[in-house]
Structure 1
Amino acid sequence: MGEDLIQATQESNVNIPQMADTLFERAGNASWIVVFKALVTTHHLMVHGNERFIQFLASRNTLFNLSNFLDKTGSHGYDMSTFIRRYSRYLNEKAFAYRQMAFDFGRVKKGADGVMRTMTTDKLLKAMPTLQSQIDALLEFDVHPNDLVNGVINAAFLLMFKDLIKLYA
Structure 2
Amino acid sequence: MSGQTLTDRIAAAQYQLTGSDVARAVCKATTHEVMAPKKKHLEYLISTTNETNVNIPQMADTLFERSTNASWVVVFKALTTTHHICIYGNERFIQYLASRTSLFNLSNFIDKTGTHGYDMSTFIRRYARYLNEKAYAYRAMAFDFTRVKKGAEGVMRTMATEKLLKAMPALQTQVDTLLEFDVHPKDLNNGIINAAFMLLFKDLIKLFASYNDGIINLLEKYFKMKKSECKDSLEIYKKFLTRVTKIAEFMKIAEQVGVDKNDIPDISYAPSSILESLETHMNSLEGKKG
**How would you bin the TM-score normalised by the shorter chain?**
over 0.9
Asked if 1:126 corresponds to 2:184, the answer is: no
Instruction: Give me the whole-angstrom Cα distance separating, in 1, the residues matched to 2:128 and 2:119.
Output: 15
Asked if 1:47 corresponds to 2:83, the answer is: no
2:64 corresponds, among 19, 24, 36, to: 24
| Partner-residue secondary structure (3-state), 2:156 | helix
Structure 1 residue 22: deviation in Å?
A: 0.2
Measured against aligned partners, the alpha-carbon deviations of 1:23-66 in whole angstroms (never above 9, x if no partner) come to 00000001000000000000000111001000000001221000
AA aligned opposite 1:44? H
2:74 alignment partner in structure 1 = 34
1:67 corresponds, among 77, 94, 107, to: 107
The runs of 5 or more residues in structure 1 that have no matched partner are none
AA aligned opposite 2:80? V
Asked if 1:155 corresponds to 2:195, the answer is: yes
RMSD between superposed Cα atoms in Å: 0.7
AA aligned opposite 1:27? S
AA aligned opposite 1:12? T
Structure 1 residue 72: deviation in Å?
A: 1.4
2:137 alignment partner in structure 1 = 97
TM-score by length of 2: 0.58
Measured against aligned partners, the alpha-carbon deviations of 1:133-152 in whole angstroms (never above 9, x if no partner) come to 10011000011111112111
Instruction: Give me the whole-angstrom Cα distance separating, in 2, the residues matched to 1:127 and 1:67.
Output: 26
Tell me the number of residue pairs that the alignment of Structure 1 and Structure 2 aligns.
Answer: 169
Structure 1 residue 73: deviation in Å?
A: 1.1
Instruction: Give me the whole-angstrom Cα distance separating, in 2, the residues matched to 1:147 and 1:122.
Output: 41
| Partner-residue secondary structure (3-state), 1:118 | coil
Instruction: Give me the whole-angstrom Cα distance separating, in 1, the residues matched to 2:93 and 2:156.
Output: 23
| Partner-residue secondary structure (3-state), 1:63 | coil
| Partner-residue secondary structure (3-state), 1:10 | coil
Asked if 1:82 corresponds to 2:122, the answer is: yes
Instruction: Give me the whole-angstrom Cα distance separating, in 2, the residues matched to 1:78 and 1:147.
Output: 12
Instruction: Give me the whole-angstrom Cα distance separating, in 2, the residues matched to 1:151 and 1:143.
Output: 14
Q: Percent identity?
A: 78
Instruction: Give me the whole-angstrom Cα distance separating, in 1, the residues matched to 2:112 and 2:154.
Output: 47
Q: Which runs of 4+ in 1 moved over 4 A?
A: none
| Partner-residue secondary structure (3-state), 2:188 | helix
TM-score by length of 1: 0.98
AA aligned opposite 1:113? E
1:139 alignment partner in structure 2 = 179
AA aligned opposite 2:157? R
Structure 1 residue 74: deviation in Å?
A: 1.3
Asked if 1:166 corresponds to 2:206, the answer is: yes
Instruction: Give me the whole-angstrom Cα distance separating, in 2, the residues matched to 1:30 and 1:84.
Output: 12
AA aligned opposite 2:150? K
The runs of 5 or more residues in structure 2 that have no matched partner are 1-38, 210-290
| Partner-residue secondary structure (3-state), 1:22 | helix
* Rg larger for: 2
Instruction: Give me the whole-angstrom Cα distance separating, in 2, the residues matched to 1:119 and 1:47.
Output: 23
2:246 alignment partner in structure 1 = none
